Structure 1
Amino acid sequence: MKKISIESLNENFIETIGKEWMLIASGCKENFNVMTASWGCVGWLWNRPIAVVFVRPERFTHEFIEKNKYVTLSFLGKEPEMRAIYNFCGSKSGREYDKAKETGLIPLETEYGCVAFGQARLTLECEKLYKDNFKPGCFLNAEIKNWYDNMKGEYHDVYFMEIKNVYVK
């Protein structure tokens, strides 16, 4: 992992998050959980580079995000072996599986003591700044509200995080 400046980052995050996906991880190298996500944002807020992620409270990774100050967003690429990792980490619970062992993910320690992965082509190390949750009465579009009404599970928590470090392979 090589640390680069955020200013040198030239990524289309609409494509990267929506089509490639990402791994959201929190915890330390020895005790962490990771999940796959295809929802998120990267931008500028509060005069800082910001990443925004959405995590349901019932996800095991949510517990780690709640307990820790830092979160990593890792982008593995679109190759079939990376897609297999995304698929496993998005469909299996860390309560029942050691996702790193099952997928071959190589945990690495970041500058702030969070966990990243040796396979990642890009990792954003983030510090949590603000949390809220989606509320049923706040949806302005009935179609989106209906999406939640038809799904099992709770409304997502939303985390706004400052991007502290950017790492590339």
Structure 2
Amino acid sequence: MMNYKEIKPIDLNESTFRLIGHDWMLVTAAHNSRVNTMTASWGGFGVLFNKNVAYIFVRPQRFTKEFVDGSDRFSLTFFDQSFKKELSYLGTASGKDEDKISKAGLTTLYLGETPYFEEVTNSYK
């Protein structure tokens, strides 16, 4: 995982209300050799039957939904405020119409089969 340090959910000190509701996140999945992402400001983290979980909601009309539904994995990526412009763009443009990830200046990397973005390494440290 490049220069990443694993943070166990129990050790997370960030406010999930701020991370998701204010700072936003990217929901990203790969399907049929393609990757798509969308900005989200809803979802959450918790514990369900003694298991740590993350949950998201994707409207059926969103192009990203077929990627999330077609994959066993997806990533939730959190950036600092310096990426707000990119996150706003990724939430309004459709990956069906263009390569919005490249246009936003993000670089897709993989951890196994799970896509995420290289630029997050310079965010939240």
TM superposition score normalised by structure 2: 0.87
Identity of aligned residues (%): 34
Which protein has the bigger strand share? 1
Larger radius of gyration: 1
The C-alpha deviation readout for 1:128-150, integer Å capped at 9, x for no partner, is xxxxxxxxxxxxxxxxxxxxxxx
Q: Which runs of 4+ in 1 moved over 2 A?
A: none
Change (3 A) 1:49 1:121: farther
| Contact persistence 1:77–1:121 (CA under 8 A) | no
Residue 106 (structure 1) shift: 1.0
* SS in structure 1 at match of 2:57: strand
Q: Report the Cα offset of residue 8 of structure 1.
A: 3.0
Structure 2 residue aligned with 1:78: 81
1:55 alignment partner, one of 46, 55, 58: 58
Q: Output the CA distance in 1 between the equivalents of 2:91 and 2:22.
A: 14
RMSD, aligned α-carbons: 1.9
Matches within 5 A, 1:6-155: 6=8, 7-27=10-30, 31-79=34-82, 82-111=83-112, 113-120=113-120
Q: Could you tell me which runs of 5 or more consecutive residues in structure 1 were left unpaired when the two chains were aligned.
A: 123-167
Structure showing greater relative contact order (alpha-carbon pairs closer than 8 Å, 6 or more residues apart): 1
Q: CA deviation at 1:110?
A: 1.2
- For structure 2, the residue ranges without an aligned partner over 5 or more in a row are none
Is the contact between residue 25 and residue 71 of structure 1 (CA under 8 Å) also seen in structure 2? yes
Normalising to structure 1: TM-score of the pair?
0.66
SS at 2:94 equivalent = coil
